[in-house]
């Protein structure tokens, strides 16, 4: 008996149906690999069976390897010998290679998505037929979790497509659609879903070639092979340069893929998959896979499933949404909500502004229509759900209202009161503010228990994170309903407690302000900007300051100063922001000048005038030192937020950092980064930075206590493996 693969026979053809119990989607587990190993022997040893079809009982064929299994394997990589690690890693390759050399033909009947190890299993089969469905994706996305395809993917894909064609898919984790896969020879046939199994059986009975192309005499890799082939050499020269440019050497998996393909494509397949397994094992010995899998997939997945939602509150659904303010944020919120099927009331002071906000959605949808991703009828249906208005009475019947007006307490209080006058008693009110405390804003509400922060990031359509902010009186029912709404629009939520700047804005702000502090010290701005990118941040600190607006930074600084009074701690960046806004009029990208100049029709460049106002000193720091200051300053503030209970869980902190403000993804987030560096070492290095640059680097008490007690933010590898 097998528990993950059903075995049946249709006279002379066996059918192996993948059906992992208790899961909505198949994943490769060690149990499944063991069962497949035994079933290959069963097929090979039964003279009555000509061959076997592998398919799935679920809508998807297979999503890939179980990430929890991979994380566990990575976590215990240091606690076993290298030989034991290699043996564990090679088990996947061993079983797949056994399948393709057992002497019986195997056909993959791909009924849905096949990713990672799922596609690698298909590639090990001698014949691959896929259902004719444009939604089906086939791909090897392992690079996105800090790994390479470790079950023959780097070797079989190259032998099917050629080096030049395969590398972009391996290095970027890109997917194929069925017709594209057919064109590259990754699948042999695309057929209607209803005829999928029959076609696989037909091939076994009528053709049934049990020898892979690369096992046949005289096989050559398409497009050329070998270290002396001019096309291959050029591909690797360009590929290596482009990979270093894109990854800035922060993602070892990309370099390992290049090396595995370069070495492996010149070798017999049996040796090649051993090379691949060795590179896979070497990646498991680094911190990236554990950190990236945990944060980017496991913890993000938990957040998507609403892990912070109060369990005792009934599930809710927003059918009618009100959005106050039709600027870029309000328009984006209206757009994503209408996409999710909600009726949206988009309100602004002037009808022209409200209509302009609606046109923002229209322009975006028209692009999708032109690209064939959406029908015109679908576009019109979505736009018909957005009602542009200036009349607060139109908000009647809304389940939820989100205000996205100017960051001004009086304006927000005014729209809160006007909205509540027409709202249902059961409706909740949310503010999209990025800095103003929710508890303070809720004072304008007659029902603060139904008042909450729902903070989106710009551009709303593209940014995956939503920060939910609890005011002091916000009820658990309101929290649950806000989380349900975020899930409806397919965003990832984190839950934080109220404070000035909350979590993301407060911590993100330290990135550009530390860069500005270094600029004031005489550090070359080009060095600072490039160090930010080399550290793995999504955008350089000066570019991001221009994007969010130096004027906004200045206004937040002034508002914070006014609110805190004598408790306000001046920052070296304060004077620079004041200079740019009040004297130079360089407010950021929105006016075409900030730290950068934005010439019409030209490429943006750092403003030459920076050298006049902030002359570079003779002794410039090294890149490593600048990178450390930029990353450590953010990480220290994240720990402070955890210490102050602004963010309550390390998982939310790391997910919020990466998906909210673009903290270096390869680290797994600031707290994962601290664990990787070592808490005690991080504390010592922060103390050195504080002595040289100021108290903003001083490690919080929480961090000092953790260093003294030997604690980490996440379980240590040995604990994780257990």
**CATH number of the domain enclosing 569:** 1.10.1040.50
Q: Average pLDDT of the chain?
A: 93
Q: Using an 8 Å Cβ cutoff, are 447 and 420 in contact?
A: yes
pLDDT given at position 385: 97
CA 362 to chain centre: 27
Per-residue pLDDT band at 78 (split at 50, 70, 90)? confident
Within this chain, do residues 513 and 455 fall inside the same structural domain, yes or no? no
Asked if the structure places residue 601 within a domain, the reply is: yes
For the cut 90, the answer to whether the pLDDT of residue 70 exceeds it is: no
* Mean pLDDT on 159-182: 95
CATH for 130: 3.90.226.10
Within this chain, do residues 221 and 365 fall inside the same structural domain, yes or no? no
* 3-class secondary structure, 373: coil
pLDDT given at position 720: 35
Asked if the structure places residue 371 within a domain, the reply is: yes
pLDDT given at position 716: 65
For the cut 70, the answer to whether the pLDDT of residue 269 exceeds it is: yes
Model pTM? 0.90
Per-residue pLDDT band at 406 (split at 50, 70, 90)? confident
pLDDT given at position 80: 83
Asked if the structure places residue 291 within a domain, the reply is: no
Among 445, 475, 500, the domain boundary falls at 500
pLDDT given at position 1: 58
d(CA 478, CA 489): 17
* Mean pLDDT on 381-392: 96
Within this chain, do residues 521 and 492 fall inside the same structural domain, yes or no? no
Within this chain, do residues 56 and 178 fall inside the same structural domain, yes or no? yes
pLDDT given at position 560: 81
* Mean pLDDT on 651-656: 97
For the cut 70, the answer to whether the pLDDT of residue 502 exceeds it is: yes
What are the beta bridge partners of residue 593?
A: 588, 597
Q: Using an 8 Å Cβ cutoff, are 654 and 299 in contact?
A: yes
Asked if the structure places residue 236 within a domain, the reply is: yes
* Mean pLDDT on 561-575: 85
Asked if the structure places residue 18 within a domain, the reply is: yes
Q: Hey, what long-range contacts does 238-244 have (CB within 8 A, 24 or more apart)?
A: 239/167, 239/171, 243/171
d(CA 335, CA 341): 10
Q: Number of folded domains in the chain?
A: 3
Asked if the structure places residue 314 within a domain, the reply is: no
d(CA 178, CA 119): 12
Provide the b/e sequence for 233-260 (b: ≥16 CB within 10 Å): eebbeebeeebeeebbeebbbbbbbbbb
CATH for 419: 3.40.50.720
Q: Which of 308, 360, 181, 667 is nearest to 189 (CA)?
A: 181
Catalytic residue among 126, 455, 571, 666: 455
Within this chain, do residues 554 and 699 fall inside the same structural domain, yes or no? yes
How does pLDDT run across 312-344, given as a tens digit for each residue?
Answer: 999 999 999 999 999 999 999 999 999 999 999
The burial of 218, by beta-carbon neighbours within 10 Å (0-12 exposed, 13-18 middle, 19 or more buried), is given as exposed
Report residue 465: phi and psi, to 5°: -95, 145
Among 500, 516, 541, the domain boundary falls at 500
Within this chain, do residues 552 and 454 fall inside the same structural domain, yes or no? no
Beta strands in 46-166 (DSSP E): 51-56, 106-110, 114-115, 127-131, 138-139
The burial of 662, by beta-carbon neighbours within 10 Å (0-12 exposed, 13-18 middle, 19 or more buried), is given as middle
Asked if the structure places residue 307 within a domain, the reply is: no
Within this chain, do residues 412 and 531 fall inside the same structural domain, yes or no? no
Per-residue pLDDT band at 500 (split at 50, 70, 90)? confident
For the cut 60, the answer to whether the pLDDT of residue 722 exceeds it is: no
Boundaries of domain holding 420: 320-500
Within this chain, do residues 9 and 98 fall inside the same structural domain, yes or no? yes
Q: Using an 8 Å Cβ cutoff, are 573 and 544 in contact?
A: no
pLDDT given at position 72: 76
Asked if the structure places residue 348 within a domain, the reply is: yes
Q: Backbone dihedral region of 662: left (phi > 0), alpha (psi from -120 to 50 degrees) or beta?
A: left
Best-predicted range by mean pLDDT (83-87, 376-380, 716-720): 376-380
Percent of the residues in the chain that have a pLDDT greater than 90, as a whole number: 82
Within this chain, do residues 24 and 157 fall inside the same structural domain, yes or no? yes
Within this chain, do residues 574 and 486 fall inside the same structural domain, yes or no? no
Per-residue pLDDT band at 548 (split at 50, 70, 90)? confident
pLDDT given at position 43: 96
Within this chain, do residues 186 and 262 fall inside the same structural domain, yes or no? yes
For the cut 60, the answer to whether the pLDDT of residue 719 exceeds it is: no
pLDDT given at position 718: 38
Within this chain, do residues 431 and 545 fall inside the same structural domain, yes or no? no
pLDDT given at position 372: 84
How does pLDDT run across 665-716, given as a tens digit for each residue?
Answer: 999 999 999 999 999 999 999 999 999 999 999 999 999 999 999 999 998 6
Q: Using an 8 Å Cβ cutoff, are 713 and 648 in contact?
A: no
Lowest mean pLDDT segment, chosen from 100-104, 246-250, 322-326, 406-410 = 406-410
| 455 is known as an active-site residue | yes
């Amino acid at each position: 008996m097998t528990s993950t693969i059903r075995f049946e026979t249709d006279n002379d053809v066996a059918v192996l149906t993948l059906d992992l119990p208790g899961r909505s989607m198949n994943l490769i587990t060690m149990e499944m690999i063991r069962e497949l190993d035994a079933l290959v022997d069963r097929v090979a040893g039964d003279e009555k069976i000509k061959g076997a079809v592998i398919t799935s009982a679920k809508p998807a064929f297979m999503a890939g390897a179980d990430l929890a299994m991979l994380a566990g394997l990575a976590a215990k990589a240091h606690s076993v010998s290298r030989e034991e690690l290699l043996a564990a890693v090679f088990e996947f390759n061993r079983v797949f290679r056994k399948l393709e050399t057992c002497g019986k033909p195997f056909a993959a009947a791909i009924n849905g998505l096949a990713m990672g190890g799922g596609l690698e299993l298909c590639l090990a089969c001698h014949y691959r037929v896929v259902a004719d469905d444009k939604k089906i994706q086939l791909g090897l996305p392992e690079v996105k979790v800090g790994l390479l395809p470790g079950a023959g993917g780097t070797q079989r894909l190259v032998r099917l497509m050629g080096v030049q064609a395969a590398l972009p898919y391996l290095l970027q984790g890109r997917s194929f659609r069925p017709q594209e896969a057919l064109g590259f020879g990754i699948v042999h046939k695309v057929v209607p879903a209803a005829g999928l199994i029959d076609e696989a059986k037909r091939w076994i009975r009528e053709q049934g070639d049990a020898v892979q192309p690369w096992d046949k005499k005289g096989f050559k890799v398409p497009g050329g092979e070998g270290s002396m082939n001019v096309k291959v050499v050029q591909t690797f020269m360009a590929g290596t340069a482009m990979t270093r440019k894109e990854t800035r050497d922060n993602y070892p998996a990309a370099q390992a893929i290049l090396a595995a393909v370069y070495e492996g494509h010149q070798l017999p397949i049996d040796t090649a998959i051993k090379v691949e397994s060795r590179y896979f094992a070497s990646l498991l010995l680094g911190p990236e896979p554990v950190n990236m899998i945990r944060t980017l997939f496991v913890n993000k997945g938990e957040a998507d499933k609403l892990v912070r939602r109060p369990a005792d509150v009934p599930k809710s659904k927003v059918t009618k949404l009100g959005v106050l303010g039709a600027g870029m944020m309000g328009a984006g919120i209206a757009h994503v909500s209408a996409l999710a099927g909600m009726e949206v009331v988009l309100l602004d002071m002037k009808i022209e502004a409200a209509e302009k906000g609606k046109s923002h959605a229209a322009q975006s949808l028209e692009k999708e229509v032109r690209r064939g991703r959406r029908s015109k009828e679908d576009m019109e249906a979505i736009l018909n759900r957005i009602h542009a208005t200036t009349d607060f009475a139109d908000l009647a019947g809304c389940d939820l209202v989100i205000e996205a007006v100017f960051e001004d307490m009086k304006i927000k209080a005014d729209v809160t009161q006007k909205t509540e006058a027409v709202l249902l008693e059961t409706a909740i009110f949310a503010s999209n503010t990025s800095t103003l405390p929710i508890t303070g804003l809720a004072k304008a509400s007659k029902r603060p228990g139904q008042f909450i922060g729902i903070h989106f990031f710009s551009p709303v359509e593209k940014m995956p994170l939503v920060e939910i902010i609890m005011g002091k009186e916000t009820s658990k029912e309101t929290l649950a309903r806000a989380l349900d709404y975020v899930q409806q629009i397919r965003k990832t939520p984190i839950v934080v407690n109220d404070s000035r700047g909350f979590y993301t804005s407060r911590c993100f702000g330290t990135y550009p302000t530390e860069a500005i502090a270094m600029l004031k010290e005489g550090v070359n701005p080009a060095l600072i900007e490039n160090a930010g990118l080399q550290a793995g941040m999504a955008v350089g600190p000066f570019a991001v300051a221009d994007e969010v607006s130096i004027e906004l930074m200045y206004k937040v600084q002034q508002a914070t100063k006014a609110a805190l009074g004598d408790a306000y701690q001046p920052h070296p960046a304060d004077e620079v922001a004041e200079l740019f806004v009040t004297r130079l009029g360089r407010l950021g990208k929105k006016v075409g000048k900030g730290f950068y100049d934005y010439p019409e029709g030209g490429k943006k460049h750092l403003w030459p005038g920076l050298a006049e106002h902030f002359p570079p000193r003779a002794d410039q720091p090294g890149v490593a030192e600048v990178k450390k200051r930029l990353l450590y300053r953010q990480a220290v503030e994240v720990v402070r937020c955890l210490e102050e209970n602004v963010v309550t869980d390390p998982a939310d902190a790391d997910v919020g950092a990466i998906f909210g403000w673009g903290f270096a993804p390869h680290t797994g987030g600031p707290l994962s980064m601290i664990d990787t560096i070592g808490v005690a070492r991080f504390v010592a290095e922060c103390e050195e930075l504080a002595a040289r640059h100021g108290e903003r680097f001083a490690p919080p008490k929480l961090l000092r206590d953790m260093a003294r007690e030997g604690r980490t933010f996440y379980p240590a590898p040995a604990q994780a493996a257990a």
